[in-house]
């Protein structure tokens, strides 16, 4: 949801108002994090300690990894489909994420 929210900010107000974590990593780094870190852990319960650490980048995980990858996945889906953020509210998040597997 945070990735969707930040993409909506970008659409409405431009990139200058995006959260700082949206620019921590390159697209290549985010794609790599998706494939090597988030995708293998996709079935973790959302309230688990490990999921929390991945989302925020705690311990040895990259800073804000989950948020950054979420933003990247939504941004790429929008680019590939030509859809705007408002249209994505009707699409299950799994469909957006798995376009990148």
Q: Contacts from 9-13 at CB under 8 Å and sequence distance 24+?
A: 10/75, 11/84, 11/85
Please tell me the total count of domains within the chain.
1
The token pair at 58 is: 């705690």
User: Does residue 101 surpass a pLDDT of 60?
Assistant: no
Each residue's pLDDT tens digit, 11-41: 999 999 999 999 999 999 999 999 999 999 9
Q: What contacts 9, CB < 8 A, 6 or more positions away?
A: 17, 18, 19
Range of the domain at 32: 2-13+21-100
Give the mean pLDDT of 59-68.
94
**What pLDDT sits at residue 90?**
83
Average pLDDT over residues 61-82: 92
CA angle 37, 100, 46 (to 5 degrees): 45
pLDDT at 2: 82
Contact 70, 94 (CB under 8 A): no
Task: Report pLDDT digits (tens) over 34-61.
Answer: 999 999 998 999 899 999 999 999 999 9
Decide: pTM greater than 0.75.
yes
Nearest Cα neighbor of 70 from 78, 59, 60 is 78
Q: Look at residue 99 in the predicted model and tell me its pLDDT.
A: 62
């Amino acid at each position: 949801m945070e990735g969707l929210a930040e993409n909506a900010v970008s659409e409405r107000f431009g990139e200058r108002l995006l959260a700082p974590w949206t620019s921590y990593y390159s697209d290549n780094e985010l794609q790599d994090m998706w494939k090597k870190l988030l995708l293998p852990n996709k079935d973790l319960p959302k309230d688990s300690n490990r999921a929390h650490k991945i989302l925020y980048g705690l311990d040895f995980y990259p800073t804000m990894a989950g948020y950054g990858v979420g933003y990247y996945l939504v941004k790429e889906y929008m680019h590939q489909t030509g859809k705007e953020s408002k249209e994505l509210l009707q699409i299950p998040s799994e469909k957006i994420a798995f376009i990148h597997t």
